[in-house]
Each structure stands twice: as structure tokens, then as C-alpha cells.
Amino acid sequence: MKTTTTLITASVCTTALAWSASPLADDDFITLASTTSTENSGLFDAIIPTFTEATGIDVRVVAVGTGQAFEIGRRGDADSLLVHDTAGEEQFVADGYATERLDVMYNDFVIVGPSDDPAGISDSESVADAFARIAESGSPFASRGDDSGTNRAELRLWEDAGVTPQGDWYRELGSGMGPTLNTAAGMDAYTFTDRATWVAFDNPQNLTLLFEGDEALFNQYGSLLLSEERHPHLKHDLAAQWHQWLVSEEGQQAIADFEVGGQQLFFPNAK
Amino acid sequence: MSASDNPFYTALALILGMDSDLIDIVVLSLQVSLVAVLIASALALPVGAALALWRFPGRNGLIVVLNALMGLPPVVAGLCVYLLLSRAGPLGSFGLLFTPSAMVIAQVILVFPIIAALTRQQVEALQHEYAEQLRSLGLTQLRMMPTLLWDARFGLLTVILAGFGRASAEVGAVMIVGGNIDGVTRVMTTSIVLETSKGDLPLALGLGIVLLTLVTLINALAHAVSEAAKRRLG
């Protein structure tokens, strides 16, 4: 009994020591707060190895909604941000939390819903028209409701459509994109999603893509370089290399090369 | 349901495939939870025993609080640790957020009340049983503590396993303080959440089966050790 206990304790302690020491040995990494759409689609798995090979810097991704990513950045808990809410990003710079914001890439939002399309949005003229039809028909609509970039874009579009989204049909889930798609599939609801998450999503059930292509559905991603003045402890040199690499020829090419099922999901558009 | 959609088939393929990413995730999960339970036990066993043996003002209140904290929602524990370890928080300068150490701290907070509260109950019951003997020996509470803890060891093993169950099953705390970073802080439960959000439900459930299998193995090992010890010591 005693020897077994000692053995177990010893092995636990050794592994604990070995593993607590290992992160210290390798300090060449940055923590990136980014969105679930970029992580879940597999983009980071595709481009980070290229960056690491070129610079020796590893990128540790914390994938959250854009609202939470801003909060992580404000508190100084990540070295860099890659998010998709241009208005929010510009505000973030104006507030002094970041010194520079660069366009990196874009994709687009789409509306998905039950394949029999009870609100008849598939032949809508615009996204505003499609949203108005959903509201009018009272068909269930699943909203992220989590202050993410996608959620903020969706709320702006309701405003454009002249609809106040409330009532039994409008269901705020307060979850990430994936869980929202799972729930929408479960209750046969319409929902608003970025294309990358939708294409990489494996559980569509009866959901299908019903509306796409309006210019208002443009979804811009931006990289933020955090303020050295506000958070001097962050790894600004390494983060700056990542920030610059994203908009470099090599980084832009890596983004363009990323495909899921033969479909390109993000389109580089650095200026 | 085709073969690849079957979660049991997926789980089996995961285990037999010995995928190195999966092994890393499993190893990290076990390390985090076992270290957390070890630390929590080292703190909670003496605290629980002390609470059983000493009488002092506010003792009942403390017991109630400890019992209530057994129901502490993991996400709340995670949020508290996040605010403590965040750069803007009081312990921010250690740079522990989004590391396995942060996950251990959060799980210690979750496991401590369970082990302390149940230890208190076990030791108190034992003390009542032996009250006369202990009094005749004229032992102080400090001297009683190791004796009673040792005597309650088989019951306490179950208590510690309950704590381990809590640690290995929770996702709310490790998700917030670890950040589910691939290769750094991704554990079994956060992988399951991630795969669910990607809509890969068979893989998510497959990982769940792997986790359950591991927890069962650890419980079986603990049971076997305690049975063997019982036989040898009578």
C-alpha cells in the first residue's frame, strides 16, 4: 500500500514538474485572441505553421467572440488580436488600447435556414429584404446574442431592414457560432453565420444556405497591434512580426491557399 | 448511422489510432486534474479533520459555507481565477493566465470544498464512534487528527475520487482560464466542446467515451489498491 502510494505520488510529482518547467524553456510564442470562425474553420492550423517556420515564433490562439477578444485585449491578456468588427476595432484604436489596425482578409456572411424556406427568402433582392421577410412570416430565427462580431453585424442588418427583432420568433441564444448552428438545426430556425464556420460545419441536418451575395454581407477581418504604452509587459516585438506577416505577401498567400473541401474561405485584402 | 457516424466506433478508432494529438490532450487532462486533486487533498484533508475535531465560534457557519461551496458552478470559479490572474488583476504579474497552472488553480478551488466537507463528515463520525477510547487515552485534538485520518483512509479514498470526478468532468473553469489553446491548454472536456461547436458530434461523443473510459480505469485502480490493502491489513 505504502509503496504504491509513494510510487503514484512520485510519478505525479515528476510529470507535474516536467510539464510546469516545459513552457518556461520556450518563450518564443505569442497569445492571440481571435474569433471562433477563424479557429473552427481550421484557418489557423493551416497558416500558423508557415509563420512559425519563417520566424520561429509560435502562436497560441484563444478563440472567443469578438466582444470577449476586445475585453481580453483591454486587460492585456493577449499579445495580439485578429477580429472582425471594423467599427469596434477603430473604437479600440481610438480608445488607445491599440496603436495600429490593418485590414487582413475578408469573407462574407450568409443566411442559412430550413430547406423548405417558410419565409421565402431565397429570392430576396437584398439582405434587408430577406430579414424583413423572416420577421414578417414569424419564422424562428436563432441569433448569437453574444456580442460577437457576427452578432454585431446581424443587429446592424436588422436596423437596416427597419425591423426591431423581438418576439417569440427571435431567439437569442448567447452562444458561439457552432452551438448556434447546432441549435438552429435542432429547431429548424433561420440563422446568420459567417461562411467559413458554415462550410466547415458538420451537423447541418435540415439547414441549407438560402441567401448570399449582398454587399452588405461583407465581413472584414482586421489585425490589431496592442499599445505598448498601456501594456508594457506584452511581447510587442513578436506580436509586431505576426501583425506584419499577416499583411505580407507570404502571409496573404498562406491565407489564400487555405481551402475546405476545395472552397477558399478567406480572401486576403491587405492594402 | 454509418460506421464513421457511430461514436463508439469513433472512440475505438481514436484509442487504437494512438493519435499523438489525442495522447497529448489525454496526458494534459490527467496531469491537470491529478495535480489539482493532489494539492486540494493536501490542503483539504487536514482542514476537514480540524473542522471535525475543534469547537470554535463560527464553526457551524463554516461547515455550511463549505457544504454550499461543493455546488460552486465551475464557470464562476473560472471567472474568479480569470479575474485574479488577468494582467489587470492582483496576480497578473505572474503571467499565469492561459497556462496549465491556471487550470490547476481553478480546479483546486472546485475540488477543495468537496474533499474538505466530506472529510469533516467522515472524521466526525469516526470520532463519535471512538469517543470513549480517545478520551481514555487523553489525546489532544492535534494527536487525534492523524490517527483518525488514517483510520478513515478507505472512506477518504472515495472522497478523493469524488474530487477527481469533479475535476476531470468540469469544463466551465478550464475553458475560461486555459483558453482551450491547441497543444497548450486543450484538455478532453474543452475538446469535446470544440468538436460539438464544429458540428462533429460523433467525434465529440467519441472523445466523451474515451474520457469516461479513463475515469473508469482510474477508479478501478483505486478500488483495486484499496481492496488489496484491506486484505493485507485485515
Is B197's CB within 8 Å of A182's CB? yes
Q: Please, where are the H alpha helices in chain A?
A: 2-25, 36-40, 43-55, 66-75, 86-94, 127-137, 149-160, 177-187, 195-200, 236-247, 249-257
Q: Mean pLDDT in runs of 10 for chain A (271 residues)? A: 51 51 63 91 94 96 93 95 95 96 96 96 95 96 93 95 94 93 95 94 94 94 95 95 97 96 93 86
Per-residue model confidence (pLDDT) at position B1: 43
Domain that holds residue B64: 6-233
Query: Which tens digit of pLDDT belongs to each residue from B100-119?
Result: 999 999 999 999 999 999 99
End residue of a domain, out of A174, A199, A216: A216
Residue of A nearest to B200 (CA): A202
- Most A CBs within 10 A among B198, B201, B221, B223, hence the mutation to make, goes to B198
Instruction: Please state the pTM of the whole predicted model.
Output: 0.87
Domain count, chain B: 1
Asked whether residue A152 falls in the same domain as residue A62, the answer is no
Residue of A nearest to B229 (CA): A1
- Residue A19: its chain B contacts at CB < 8 A? 28, 31, 100
Per-residue model confidence (pLDDT) at position B141: 87
Does some domain include residue B1?
no
Is A233's CB within 8 Å of B182's CB? no
Question: Is the CB of residue A47 less than 8 Å away from at least one CB of chain B?
Answer: no
Question: CA torsion angle for A235, A41, B205, A191 (degrees, to 10)?
Answer: 120
Residue B32: pLDDT over 70: yes
- Residue A75: its chain B contacts at CB < 8 A? 86-89
Asked whether residue A119 falls in the same domain as residue A252, the answer is no
Alpha-carbon span A260 to A159, nearest angstrom: 33
Domain harbouring B140, CATH code: 1.10.3720.10
CB-facing half-sphere around the CA of A194: CA atoms within 13 A: 31
Domain that holds residue A112: 108-216
Q: B16 pLDDT band (50/70/90 cuts)? A: confident
Is B198's CB within 8 Å of A15's CB? no
ipTM of predicted assembly, 2 dp: 0.81
Question: Is the CB of residue A199 less than 8 Å away from at least one CB of chain B?
Answer: no
List % helix, strand, coil for chain B (3-state, nearest 5): 80, 0, 20
Is B180's CB within 8 Å of A202's CB? no
The average pLDDT across B38-49 equals: 97
Q: B3 pLDDT band (50/70/90 cuts)? A: low
Asked whether residue A183 falls in the same domain as residue A135, the answer is yes
Residue of B nearest to A4 (CA): B225
Question: Is the CB of residue A200 less than 8 Å away from at least one CB of chain B?
Answer: yes
Domain harbouring A182, CATH code: 3.40.190.10
Per-residue model confidence (pLDDT) at position A23: 44
Domain count, chain A: 2
Per-residue model confidence (pLDDT) at position A10: 54
Asked whether residue A97 falls in the same domain as residue A222, the answer is yes
